[in-house]
């Protein structure tokens, strides 16, 4: 009967490892998305500053498409 307890504890440990790994992957994916979003805002702001109003509608459209 001891092997049942060992088996159950291994299953629980494996399940918790998968849950924690999935959670960490989700946090990493969220952080990557936030970084991409910040990069898009920076690129958009740089483009508006560089063009000084010229083709601003195009820059806004590109910003909306990329994000």
Label residue 8 by pLDDT band (50, 70, 90).
Answer: confident
Backbone angles phi, psi at 54, to 5 degrees: -70, 135
Instruction: Write the CB contacts of 41 (distance below 8 Å, at least 6 apart in sequence).
Output: 63
| pLDDT(24) > 90 | yes
> In the chain, how many domains are there?
1
- pLDDT at position 45, please? 78
pLDDT digits (tens, 9 = 90+) for 35-63: 888 888 888 777 766 666 556 666 676 77
Q: What pLDDT does residue 26 have?
A: 94
Domain span at 38: 2-66
Using a cut of 0.75, tell me whether the model's pTM lies above it. Answer: no
């Amino acid at each position: 009967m001891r092997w049942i307890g060992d088996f159950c504890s291994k299953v629980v440990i494996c399940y918790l490892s998968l849950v924690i790994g999935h959670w960490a992957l989700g946090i990493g994916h969220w952080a990557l998305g936030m970084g991409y979003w910040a990069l898009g805002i920076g690129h958009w702001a740089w483009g508006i500053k560089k063009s000084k109003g010229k083709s601003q509608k195009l820059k806004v459209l590109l910003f909306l498409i990329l994000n």
